[in-house]
Amino acid sequence: MTNQSIDYSPPPQKEPTRRDFLLLTTGALGAAGAACFAWPFIDSMNPAADVLAQSSIDVDLSPIPAGQAITVVWRGKPIFVRHRTPEEIKAAEQAPLNELIDPETDQARVQKGHDQWLIVVGICTHLGCIPTGNKPTQNRGKYGGWACPCHGSLYDTSGRVRRGPAPLNLAIPPYAFVKPTLIRIGTKEVAHG
């Protein structure tokens, strides 16, 4: 009889441990499920398949005379395509690196053999305004590149920031020369999202 009564009452230590394990497993499973469930909704706010697929545009360079620039739209952003004069190239190459806010050589910002073509994303790296200077009639600032009208950042003829508050040089989009007078901006192929 005594033995039986001991069998009936579960040991006080063992029982909670087993349920704790079940609770932990269930809790972990629930948390993982909730995280997986959240993902489709978060991902739905990312660029849709057709937006991703609009990844490349072709730009014909032949109509742009030296000293002038055009603006094309790639992924909803303005891209400055500038045909630089020899003086502008020289000024860009000779700028002392130690005076630069974001040191980078001019060679690193153009493609080899295509020194006259500077292609940059036309968005100020400070807070996203579009700098002036892409048209010859606009203010290009004292470094001859672009000048941001919002907070006065100045860029040189290599698109490098020379006066703040912008912290970085104008970004270079991915592009390649298809022909000497034709570039393709955005080379990533997305066949199907």
Partner 1 sequence: MDSVTKIVRWIDYRLPIFSFMDHALREYPTPRNLNYWWNFGSLAGITLVLMILSGIFLAMHYDPNTHEAFNSVEYIMRNVNFGWFMRYMHANGATMFFIVVYIHMFRGLYYGSYKSPREVLWILGVIILLLMMATAFMGYVLPWGQMSYWGATVITNLFSVFPFGEGIVEWLWGGFSVDAPTLNRFFVLHYLLPFLIIGVVILHLVALHQHGSNNPLGIERKEPRDSIPFHPYYTVKDLFGLGVFSLVWAYFIFFNPDFFGEPDNYIPANPLVTPPHIVPEWYFLPFYAILRSIPNKLFGVIAMFSAVMILFFVPWLDRSKVRSAAFRPIYKWVFWGFVVDCFILGFVGAHSPDDVYANLGGLSNQFLGQVTTLIYFAFFLLALPLLGLYEKTRPLPTSLSTPVLQNMNKTPAMILFLLFSVGQLTSLNASDTPPLPHQEWSFLGPTGTFDRTDLQHGFQIYKQVCATCHGLEHVRFRDLAALGYNAEEIKAIAAEHRVEALNDTGDIIERPCLPTDKFPNPYKNEQAGRAANNGAMPPDLSLMVKARAGGANYIDALLTGYEATPPKDIELAEGMYYNLYFPGNQIAMPPPLTEGLVTYDDGSKPSINQMAHDVVTFLAWTAEPELEARKRLGYKVLIYFIVFTGLMYFLMKRIWARVE
Which residues lie near partner 1 (CB under 8 A)? 19, 22-23, 25-26, 29-30, 33, 36, 39-41, 43-46, 48-51, 53-54, 189-193
Best CA proximity match to 131, nearest among 171, 187, 96: 171
Residue 114 CB, nearest approach to partner 1 (Å) = 23
Residue 29 CB, nearest approach to partner 1 (Å) = 6
Q: Measured between alpha carbons, how far is 188 from 50 in angstroms, rounded to an integer?
A: 14
**Of residues 83, 114, 151, 192, which has the active-site annotation?**
151
Which CB atom, from 108 or from 176, has the smaller least distance to partner 1? 176
Residue 174 CB, nearest approach to partner 1 (Å) = 17
Which CB atom, from 20 or from 87, has the smaller least distance to partner 1? 20
Which CB atom, from 55 or from 111, has the smaller least distance to partner 1? 55
- 126 labelled catalytic: no
Which CB atom, from 49 or from 127, has the smaller least distance to partner 1? 49
Q: C-alpha 10: how far from its chain's center?
A: 62
Residue 27 CB, nearest approach to partner 1 (Å) = 10
Catalytic positions, written as ranges? 151
